[in-house]
Structure 1
Amino acid sequence: MTDLRRRALESGKTVSRKAQSKQSSRASSRADSRVNSRNVSRHGSDEEDGNASDGTTWSINSVDEVLALEDADLPGTASDWQEELSDRIDQILDRKRSNIAGREESLSAYVRILTVKYAAEELHGKSEELVGAFLKSIKAESSEKETVLALKAITAPSETIYDLIDGPLKRTINDSESSVAKNTAIHALGCATFYGGASLEETQEVMDFLLEIVESDGNSVNSGDDSVVVTAALEEWGFLATLLEDMEDTTEAAMEAFVEQLDSSEPSVQIASGENIALLYEKSYTEAEDDDEIESEDDEDPEDESSRDGPKMIKRYEPYRRIDKLRHTLSDLASISSRRLSKKDRKCLHTNFSDILNSVENPTRGPRYQNAVNQETGKRYGSRLTIRIHRTGVMKIDKWWKLHRLQALRRILAGGFVTHYEKNEVIFDSLPYVQADALSVF
């Protein structure tokens, strides 16, 4: 748990090769947490939970809409939902006496309860047996609904969960005839890799697998030009990239793939690619070390907020060689006016790519960065994207790695976000917040 907590808190920033050579290799992360993969795309609604808040525009209102669903349709008391969960577990494990309709009903109830309730105690000692039952449903693919629900039900109860499900999930991604099942399996794989005990080497292997899906437009997993599958691969690649520190060696190939996907006809693919590009630019900067040469204040870029506030940031490498071409493409997307797009899609592209372009030009700036100057402080407002957790805390999303993790937690937990955030230590540690009355955040 300590290794996971340290990695989750520190991995939002990259380190230079120089710094990395000074450090001993980190132990692989292991997570003992309840996580089920909720396939809630930020580009569309989920029929089960009704979550329709859009894209990266996470406001207090959009979060409240999700929270309003948290206890919907659940029994009123703790003993009621715990009893129902116990019954559903028994039904799932008693596969010989079940049929497709019965398994669909049991899995649906199981996913619903575990999404909105933290049930670590109720699952203690049963997790691996349950995973075995879920894998049987996934392998059989008796119905699309049962398969998708079983994929959503997969949890990360121990340090061995990644080893148990890596192969079966990749087979589903490669071989399933259902685009929905492939999409859900990709998100489940990302979740299990992050929270289920994968080493950093295994994490990189999964990222390579996901990048191949992107580079081939889905053809590598028999889903040519399937934007749903490609978007899922992009999103999970970005989520897992927040775990890696030095990405210099992997950036060039990834940037080529993401820049190419900016020409996609699907806004979801374009936005997910753009967010990964912004993350890679952010990771090309690290905090200055003691033996780095620091520019004098007279030489500092007046547009660089990091030169005046917070730690000094140093550019370690160039993420993309054809920066002028990239800026032109991002600028076009930030002002696109094509009538083939809906008004909602145009607005989403404008908002997201204005942010992405700003971060490519100024990599120390995070999402929703405002250039306007506060007349009282004389400083720019900076990143204005914040999420309140009830009335006690505020989460400031001022880095792209934080946004990637927030969106991944939203996909995983949907309406149960706050319940798990408050009770599940591993979830909290992957994206911590501070008290609302604190003088500064993060």
Structure 2
Amino acid sequence: MHDLRRQALESGKTVSRKARSKPSSAVSSRGNSAPNSRAASRNPSRNVSDDEEGNLSDGTAWSQCLYVFETLRLTHHGSTNSIDDMIMSEDADAPPDAWRMELSDRMEQIIDRKRSSVQGREESLSAYTHIITAQFAQPEIHSKLGELVPALLKSVKGGASEKETVVALKALAVTLITDPSDTIYDAVYQSLKQTISDSESTLAKIAAIHTLGTATFYGGASEEETQDVMDYLLEIIESDGNSVDAADNGEVVTAALEEWGFLATQLEDMEDSTEPAMDAFVEQLESSDPSVQIAAGENIALLYEKSHTELEDDEDAPPNDSDSDSDASSASDPNAPVMVKRYTVYRREDQLKHTLESLANLSTRRLSKKDKKSLHTNFADILNSVANPTRGPRYQNAVNQETGKRYGSRMTVRIHKAGEMRIDRWWKLHRLKALRRVLQGGFVNHYEHNEVVFDSLPIMIARK
């Protein structure tokens, strides 16, 4: 397994300048057909706020995939209540191992598909996922992994309903985070890619994109294979979804953008990959979908951040300019390493800054107040990081009168009573969002008990 410490919208579509210049085609027509209508017709304000965890939320239809999963879980009243009781440690009446017994039963049901109904498979998959999301169950599932993964893939490839496919993809993603393996990427890659390309369900495409990102990160993909997946995701972004038969589907493009950024956090040297990626991301800033714009902007900020690395022992320090990029982090932390610019991220930086500034101050009636607020907040951060790449999300230039230091990045996530996790780098934000997309409400429990999750985001906790 990888050493993770080292790796350490009104229409609901994205319509960029490139897409507007293309003639309509059969592909575009199919992309707007019934399979996409459900996702496209949702309210454009997809960002669900989370006041307890720094307003960190995800703006893709992955949340709708999770809605399908929760709907499945809640509609089976008899089993759901018992499962919820079993996983609640506060329930003194529940046997300590009740959830383990339930999990064992569900795994057997998933593995043994004989005489199972569609509804039965949906229920078993959703119950299994609910348990391993809420509990850290690596010891329980490890011995069954060789049977579970093929069984889950059968529901992904041959799901008799959209719900079965989506919940199986969700189950596979949580399984991979719970018990990573060096061999799973090779086993699941083709099936996930085929689902992304061939499925007529928008939700299945989105779920498969996110599961592909998880499988690449935790399933044993090499650096070369990771780059191949990123190139595949970039094709989806550059084509506005056309390459996977999802023409102008903002939710599919957003998912590809998010997973590209997540995987980019693994790669140390991004210089050769930066130019084509930046061209695609800048293009998507013109999208009519705020989720696409924000995901593209966050990737831009990440690439600027990655263009700066720590000063080597044999290098001379850059000029001590209080306004320089290399001095920005030390202004809030005098012990912070000196960061040095290694290459130019984007040749037309003045034009990019103008675009980012326009988005940070956008005023239009076509967007909801929530979407406008989200654009303003996120692009103010992104613009700040493009101008000063050593500054992370929610960076504040204001000086604390008591300490005489800049406040710096003030984005934090509460981890129960332990304190607050500071998200002061874009790579941390990308990984946090990726983990929360999969683990949802189980993130804190996995962060505390799942070494793999902690190793993905090894951040010091600032105790109160």
TM-score by length of structure 1 reads 0.84
CA deviation after TM superposition for structure 1 residue 137, in Å:
1.1
Distance apart, 1:434 and its partner CA: 2.6
Cα shift at 1:253: 0.3
Alignment of 1:360-439 (within 5 A): 360-437=386-463
Count of matched residue positions in the alignment of Structure 1 and Structure 2: 390
Contact 2:271 2:343 in 1 (8 A): yes
Q: Does the 8 Å CA contact 1:43/1:54 hold for their aligned counterparts?
A: no
Query: What SS does the corresponding residue of 1:96 show, helix, strand or coil?
Result: coil
Q: Contact conserved, 2:192 with 2:209, CA < 8 A, in 1?
A: yes
Alpha-carbon shift at residue 60 of structure 1 (Å): 8.3
Which sits farther off after the overlay, 426-435 or 320-329?
426-435
**Paired residue type of 1:379:** K
Following superposition of structure 1 onto structure 2, how do residues 70-109 of structure 1 map, counting pairs within 5 Å?
73-75=84-86, 76=91, 77=94, 78-109=96-127
Conservation of the 8 A alpha-carbon contact between 1:74 and 1:113: no
Q: In the alignment, what sits opposite 2:6? A: 6
**Structure-to-structure mapping, 1:6-45, within 5 angstroms:** 6-8=6-8, 44=46
| Structure-2 residue corresponding to 1:176 | 199
Q: Residues 74, 181 of structure 1: CA spacing in aligned structure 2 closer, same or farther, 3 A cutoff?
A: farther
Give the aligned residue type for 2:384: N
Classify 1:287/1:61 alpha carbon distance in 2 versus 1 (closer, same or farther; 3 Å).
Answer: closer
SS in 2 for 1:410: helix
The equivalent residue for 2:49 is 53
Q: In structure 2, what is the Cα distance between the partners aligned to 1:320 and 1:340?
A: 30
Counting aligned pairs with the same residue, the percent is: 66
Report the CA distance between 1:93 and its aligned residue.
1.3
Provide the rounded CA distance (Å) in 1 between the counterparts of 2:395 and 2:407. 7
Counterpart amino acid of 2:54? S
Q: Deviations over 1:370-399 (max 9, x none)?
A: 111111222211100111211223211000
Corresponding position of 1:15: none
1:291 to 289, 307, 314: 314
Deviation of 1:59 after TM superposition, in Å, equals 2.2
Tell me which amino acid in the other structure corresponds to 1:410.
Answer: R
Residue aligned with 1:132, SS:
helix
Does residue 1:238 correspond to 2:261, yes or no? yes
Rate the CA distance shift 1:105–1:59 in 2: closer, same or farther, 3 A: same
Cα distance, 1:296–1:258 mapped onto 2, change above 3 Å: closer
Deviation at 1:61, TM superposition (A): 10
Aligned counterparts of 1:277 and 1:104: Cα–Cα separation in 2? 39
1:323 equivalent in structure 2: 349
Shift of 1:302: 5.9
Deviation at 1:294, TM superposition (A): 2.0
Which one has a larger percent helix, Structure 1 or Structure 2?
A: 2
In the alignment, the residues of structure 1 paired with residue 329 and residue 459 of structure 2 have an alpha-carbon distance, to the nearest angstrom, of 21
Output the amino acid matched with 1:378. Answer: G
Higher relative contact order (CA 8 A, sep 6+): 1
Flag the 1:247–1:100 CA change in 2: closer, same or farther, 3 A.
Answer: same
Distance 2:456 2:386 in 1: 25
Give matches, 1:278-317, under 5 Å: 278-297=301-320, 299=321, 301=323, 304-306=327-329, 308=331, 309=334, 310-317=336-343
Asked if 1 retains the 8 angstrom alpha-carbon contact of 2:49 and 2:55, the reply is no
- 1:181-225 CA deviation, whole Å, 9 max, x = no partner? 000000000011111111111111110100110000001111110
Residues 394 and 433 of structure 1 are in contact (CA less than 8 Å); yes or no, is this contact kept in structure 2? no
Letter in 2 for 1:275: E
Per-residue CA deviation, residues 16-75 of structure 1 (Å, 9 max, x unaligned), is xxxxxxxxxxxxxxxxxxxxxxxxxx9737xxxxxx3369x942899xxxxxx9x98342
Secondary structure of the structure 2 residue equivalent to 1:314: strand
* Contact 1:359–1:366, Cα closer than 8 Å, also in 2: yes
Q: How does 1:99-248 map to 2 (within 5 A)?
A: 99-154=117-172, 155-156=175-176, 157=179, 158-248=181-271
Give SS of 2:267's match. Answer: coil
CA distance in 1, matches of 2:228, 2:341: 27
Change (3 A) 1:381 1:247: same
| Cα pair distance change 1:226/1:121, threshold 3 Å | same
Q: 1:150, 1:421 → 2: CA distance?
A: 23
Q: Does the aligned pair in 2 maintain the 1:255–1:320 contact within 8 Å? A: yes
Task: Tell me how far 1:300 sits from its aligned partner.
Answer: 5.2
Change (3 A) 1:87 1:366: same
- Asked if 1:343 corresponds to 2:345, the answer is no
Amino acid at match of 2:398: A
Whether the aligned pair in 1 keeps the contact of 2:356 and 2:382 (CA below 8 Å) is: yes
In the aligned structure 2, how far is the partner of 1:171 from the partner of 1:61? Answer: 31
> How big is the alpha-carbon RMSD for the aligned residues of Structure 1 and Structure 2?
2.2
What's 1:259 paired with? 282
Which secondary structure does the structure 2 equivalent of 1:3 belong to?
coil
